[in-house]
């Protein structure tokens, strides 16, 4: 399968990428690792007329200890995140969940920024960022702005990024002593989650779900049940409150609701919620 023809540009800086995006309107797409975009283009489900390849902007690839949080450059590859000793110590949930993405070949190419900017409800890292309360930095023609993970995922494959904005940094709070869990249920090793749950328990409790709605989504009813003193089992019964999970070849809506309850309960128990 061969993608439809497109023009290809390789900007030397984020500013140049933003300029190219601004000049070319909706027809252009950023290319990072290409492991979500190229499969779509091969199936001709996406046919951008211009690809702006930012894959070489190595100054957007870093993992830095920044006091109370870790700053991660958007172009940091999954392989770097999963093997980072800083992240393993300070944000083990993120390092572990990243090691569960796809397979080693995918993790050698895919980037954390691409995973988030793609806005796929079946992706693992958006749920992890929601549970952790991460903040994203977007750069645009007028400078940069911060977007909380809670405001970022707006629709199916839709995020708060403007068409001429580039996601440049992901900031995750350090939680070295927090309880955490990542539950990913799939049928074959390399597959996407049929349902996934990310949980972090650190005084307060953050819980978010993979593949349970048209966007990555926070399990707010579970969180408030725990805040109100519910046990893991009681809180898990609220896993799909207010959600209308999709049905597909892998699972019906009802089965997804069932899985969500079971996986949320396991996640809460593993994260240390009584």
Partner 1 sequence: MKISVTVNGEKRDNEVEPRLLLVHYLRDVLALTGTNVGCDTSSCGACTILLEGQSVKSCTVLAAQADGATITTIEGLAGPDRMHPVQEAFREHHGLQCGYCTPGMVMAAVSLIEEVPDLDEAKVREGLEGNLCRCTGYHNIVKAVLAAAKTPARSAS
Ligand X SMILES: Cc1cc2nc3c(=O)[nH]c(=O)nc-3n(C[C@H](O)[C@H](O)[C@H](O)COP(=O)(O)OP(=O)(O)OC[C@H]3O[C@@H](n4cnc5c(N)ncnc54)[C@H](O)[C@@H]3O)c2cc1C
Q: What residues line the site for partner 1 (CB under 8 A)?
A: 1-8, 10, 31, 34-35, 38-39, 42-43, 51, 53, 55, 79, 102-106, 108-109, 189-190
117 binds, among partner 1, ligand X, none (CB under 5 to 8 A by kind): ligand X
Q: Nearest distance from residue 52's CB to partner 1, in Å? A: 12
Confirm or reject binding of residue 11 to ligand X (CB under 6 A).
no
Q: Nearest distance from residue 4's CB to partner 1, in Å? A: 7
- Can you tell me the distance from the alpha carbon of 168 to that of 114, in angstroms, rounded to the nearest whole number? 10
Report the candidate in 105, 70, 98, 61 with the shortest Cα–Cα distance to residue 83: 98
User: What are the helix and strand counts (H, E) for the chain?
Assistant: 12, 14
CB nearer to ligand X: pick between 166 and 268: 166
- Pull the structure tokens for residue 196: 């996934």
122 Cβ neighbours under 8 A, 6+ residues apart: 192, 193, 210, 211
Of these, 69, 175, 192, 238, which contacts ligand X (CB under 6 A)?
Answer: 192
DSSP state, 211? S
Q: Nearest distance from residue 86's CB to ligand X, in Å? A: 21
Report the candidate in 115, 131, 133 with the shortest Cα–Cα distance to residue 123: 115
DSSP state, 60? G
Confirm or reject binding of residue 35 to ligand X (CB under 6 A).
yes
Confirm or reject binding of residue 118 to ligand X (CB under 6 A).
yes
Site pattern 62..101 for ligand X (x: CB under 6 A): ------------x--------------------------x
Cβ atoms of 237 and 261 within 8 Å: the answer is yes
By CB under 6 A, the residues from 146 to 165 that bind ligand X are 161
115 binds, among partner 1, ligand X, none (CB under 5 to 8 A by kind): ligand X
* Burial class of residue 85 (count of CB atoms within 10 Å of its CB; 0-12, 13-18, 19+): exposed
CB nearer to partner 1: pick between 35 and 256: 35
- DSSP lists the bridge partners of residue 63 as 72
132 binds, among ligand X, partner 1, none (CB under 5 to 8 A by kind): none
- Can you tell me the distance from the alpha carbon of 270 to that of 274, in angstroms, rounded to the nearest whole number? 9
Confirm or reject binding of residue 135 to ligand X (CB under 6 A).
no
CB nearer to ligand X: pick between 37 and 273: 37
CB nearer to partner 1: pick between 5 and 68: 5
120 Cβ neighbours under 8 A, 6+ residues apart: 36, 126, 157, 216
């Amino acid at each position: 399968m061969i993608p439809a023809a497109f023009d290809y540009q390789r900007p030397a800086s984020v500013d140049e990428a933003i300029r190219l995006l601004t000049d070319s309107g909706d027809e252009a797409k950023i290319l990072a690792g290409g492991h979500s975009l190229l499969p779509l283009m091969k199936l001709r489900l996406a046919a951008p007329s211009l690809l702006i390849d930012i894959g070489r902007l190595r100054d957007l690839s870093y993992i830095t200890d920044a006091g109370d949080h870790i700053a991660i450059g958007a172009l940091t590859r999954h392989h770097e995140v999963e093997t980072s000793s800083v992240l393993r110590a300070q944000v083990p949930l993120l390092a572990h969940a990243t090691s569960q993405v796809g397979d080693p070949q995918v993790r050698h190419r895919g980037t954390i920024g691409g995973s988030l900017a793609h806005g796929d409800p079946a992706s693992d890292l958006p749920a992890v960022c929601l549970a952790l309360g991460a903040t994203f930095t977007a750069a645009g023609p007028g400078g940069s702005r911060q977007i909380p993970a809670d405001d970022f995922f707006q629709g199916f494959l839709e995020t708060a990024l403007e068409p001429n904005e580039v996601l440049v940094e992901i900031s995750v709070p350090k939680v070295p002593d927090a309880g955490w869990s990542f539950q990913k249920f799939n049928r074959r090793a390399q597959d996407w989650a049929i349902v996934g749950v990310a949980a972090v328990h650190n005084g307060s409790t953050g819980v978010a779900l993979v593949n349970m709605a048209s966007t990555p989504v926070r399990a707010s009813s579970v969180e408030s049940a725990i805040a109100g003193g519910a046990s893991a089992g009681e809180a898990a019964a609220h896993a799909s409150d207010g959600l209308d999970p999709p049905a597909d070849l892998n699972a019906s809506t009802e089965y997804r609701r069932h899985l969500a309850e079971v996986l949320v309960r396991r996640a809460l128990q593993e994260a240390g919620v009584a």
